[in-house]
Amino acid sequence: MTQLFLEQALNGLQFGLMLFLLAAGLTLVFGIMDCINLAHGSLYMVGAYFVAAAAQAADSFWLGLGAGVAGTALLGLLLELSLFRQLYRRDHLAQVLATFALILIANESVRLIWGPAPLLLNPPESLAGPVEIAGFFYPAYRLVIIACGLVVAGLLYLLVAKSRIGMWVRAGAANREMTEALGINVRALFTAVFVFGAGLCALAGGLLGPLLAVQVGMGESVLILAFVVIIIGGIGSIRGALVGALIVGTVDTLGRALLPTLLRATLPADAAATLGPALASILIYLLMAGILFFKPQGLFPARA
């Protein structure tokens, strides 16, 4: 039982850290620029395709990952300069419409270029098997994902909490007008944050590619989870995004694993088989509703 619990905790941590990579960019763009970017999930999808294509061309997963992240960051730069600059001053409805159009354009473009079938992206040969920890086997590749996620989360913390740029970012999230009045080049700051977010999306897409599937529409389902994370964590807060992502990752994993077992012990088998999976899939939304009831601004509101 402790083994099961430990393994599920690792699974939850891995899922949560990947959600964090997505939510970090989203929460900054939403929090600082006040811009709803529904196409954030599309950057994740395009990033995964870039990584898969580059990994195939270079015949190396790590080279492909680097090239894919760089390529997606570049795409983010072009998008920010051409489209998003026009959207910051518009209302949320215009932003939602424009970025929803981007989702459709991204999906169809990917389908045109790479076809409707999912792309194959394999982890490096040496990481394909399991490793033994504390008496049970765990996939080596998932451990690598956890390590990557922890490193990025640590770097991001240092960047946001300790560096000058991080200070500007936090200032921008707390009060945009005041930051501009202090003479910070907010335009350049916005561009940098957007590009950085796009790179993180590609990193998550590339790392998850070998585990899941690189396919059209993979961004939409994960986008919803990323929004849940930033709403729980508080919009604009990196710390909130990290805590929110870990909560969502753990609750979703443990819910899926333990709820059916618990229900089976208390309810008749038929009812448990129907109720268990249904309850597990809405658990994080129940959690979000619960947190918003007590903390309407999320756990760590940026504009305190």
Cα 73 to Cα 205: distance, rounded to the nearest angstrom: 13
**In sequence order, what E strands does 97-248 have?**
130-133, 136-139
Q: How far is CA 47 from CA 36, 53, 72, 170, in A?
A: 20, 10, 5, 27
Secondary structure element (H or E) that encloses residue 144, with its range: helix 140-162
- Please state the closest distance from residue 140 (CB atom) to other proteins, in A: 8
3-state secondary structure of 296: coil
- Please state the closest distance from residue 8 (CB atom) to other proteins, in A: 5
- Please state the closest distance from residue 71 (CB atom) to other proteins, in A: 24
Q: Between 47 and 139, whose beta carbon lies closer to other proteins?
A: 139
Q: Between 3 and 163, whose beta carbon lies closer to other proteins?
A: 3
- From the number of C-beta atoms within 10 Å of its C-beta (0-12, 13-18, 19+), residue 241 rates as buried
- From the number of C-beta atoms within 10 Å of its C-beta (0-12, 13-18, 19+), residue 83 rates as middle
Q: 133 pairs with which residues across the strands?
A: 136
- Please state the closest distance from residue 213 (CB atom) to other proteins, in A: 5
Q: Between 195 and 214, whose beta carbon lies closer to other proteins?
A: 214
Q: Between 1 and 113, whose beta carbon lies closer to other proteins?
A: 1
Q: Between 40 and 256, whose beta carbon lies closer to other proteins?
A: 256
- Please state the closest distance from residue 282 (CB atom) to other proteins, in A: 11
Contact footprint for other proteins (CB under 8 A): 1, 3-4, 7-8, 11, 14-15, 111, 116-118, 120, 128-130, 136-142, 211-213, 215-217, 253-254, 256-257, 260-261, 273, 276-278, 281
Of 204, 88, 206, 107, nearest to 153 (Cα)?
Answer: 204
Cα 232 to Cα 96: distance, rounded to the nearest angstrom: 21
Q: Which two tokens stand for residue 88?
A: 């910051």
Q: Between 133 and 150, whose beta carbon lies closer to other proteins?
A: 133
- Please state the closest distance from residue 287 (CB atom) to other proteins, in A: 16
